[in-house]
Chains A and B, each alone.
Chain A
């Protein structure tokens, strides 16, 4: 049976082939794309790690920026909604300074999952360190 995963794998292979054939594999664009993919992989963990305490979106964007991870609102807000729909976050609206703000915080499930994700991350980092030596 053809699944979305198998289609995506084929597409990925086709994209790589296209880039190689067109000599794009090591261009700045390709480098940027790889960096983008790498950063995309860590965004979820970075966001979850900041939400032990309640935060609204814009505060979270600024907190991540200060920590060195620049993320635009077009990426963050849809991600927050997805994480909430997956049950990892919960949110509530509150009026502050005459303005409604939506506060996000880890749900119980998110709280249980985060330590395991951290362990997994540490394992990936040490594995990559060994591989890149």
Chain B
């Protein structure tokens, strides 16, 4: 438990440090904490317990304050304001980027666009999103740089921080999570399932549909319409890139800066494509008409249900893909920005 608290503390400090030199600083902090703990235990005359560790960590300081002390001396935003600046950045920028990406994608794409027009639109959207994010970044930096240079604001923040430090409890530190590692079986499963899905969509799309007995005869109705197949080249490209990335990850054995940004890009593209498909024409054929062709006695209500069910199902699946992709994108950007802005 006690060692676990130190692990959690060191991991938390690491979250607020620049990637460069992070491991080294964490190693040194751990070594110092262990030295201090030994010293405290000697003075107290008993083995370290949880209360002793908690006091030691409180004495050492809040993780974000400890990390902020490693900032370079000359800076636009000093250690007092930096943790708040960093928090604002990590919340505002990813949310702004995601919201802009989704809203602009939904408004700009439709199924009638040619591949070149899609690329043009995508490029224009990405440029606008990057421009807005850079502009927001600049505004936040300028605001904090001004705040940094106003004595009363620094004093206010300092007071607030001291209050927070008093209330800070090391027992509330989150559990250690190694975000650099991933599950190999999970990745292999993902590759296999994506390959299977690609094979079905490209070579056996007719097997996606409804099968039923009609007049003692097995009948099967495919559900995917022509509108869906207009998106197939983009789905193929996106999923092939995803498989390539996953294979590369398996080869490297861990996440790296390049692979992390590739994953962020693919997730953003995936969300955009899902947005386009959601806003585009219906991707499921009218089952009612097909049923009328194969069996005129088929109930109209059943035909209606069989028509809207897959349509709603696809819409729900796309919304879920956008929401889960958006959350994943936010988390990844949060991790990246947390690391980068401290360099």
Contacts and interface: CB of A to CB of B under 8 A. Distances in A.
B149 A11 contact: yes
Contacts of B21: 81
From DSSP, what is the main secondary structure of chain B's interface residues?
helix
Interface in B53-94: 60-61, 65-66, 69-74
Contact of A77 (B32, B34, B35, B65): B32
Interface string B140-159: 00000000010110000000
B206 interface: no
A18 B152 contact: yes
A93 to B, nearest CB: 8
B36 interface: yes
Contacts of A78: 69-71
B61 A102 contact: no
Contacts of A4: 74
B31 interface: yes
B70 A81 contact: yes
Interface string B94-105: 000000000000
A57 B32 contact: yes
A58 B65 contact: no
Contacts of B149: 7, 11, 14
Interface in A11-55: 11, 14-15, 18-19
Interface in A73-90: 73-75, 77-78, 81-82
A56 B39 CA distance: 15
Interface of A: 4, 7, 11, 14-15, 18-19, 56-58, 73-75, 77-78, 81-82, 93, 99-102
Interface of B: 21, 25, 27-29, 31-32, 34-36, 39, 60-61, 65-66, 69-74, 149, 151-152
> 3 closest A-B pairs (Cβ-Cβ)?
A58-B35, A74-B69, A18-B151
24 contacts: A4-B74, A7-B149, A11-B149, A15-B151, A56-B31, A56-B35, A58-B31, A58-B35, A73-B60, A74-B60, A74-B61, A74-B65, A74-B66, A77-B69, A77-B70, A78-B70, A81-B21, A81-B70, A93-B27, A99-B34, A100-B27, A100-B31, A102-B27, A102-B31
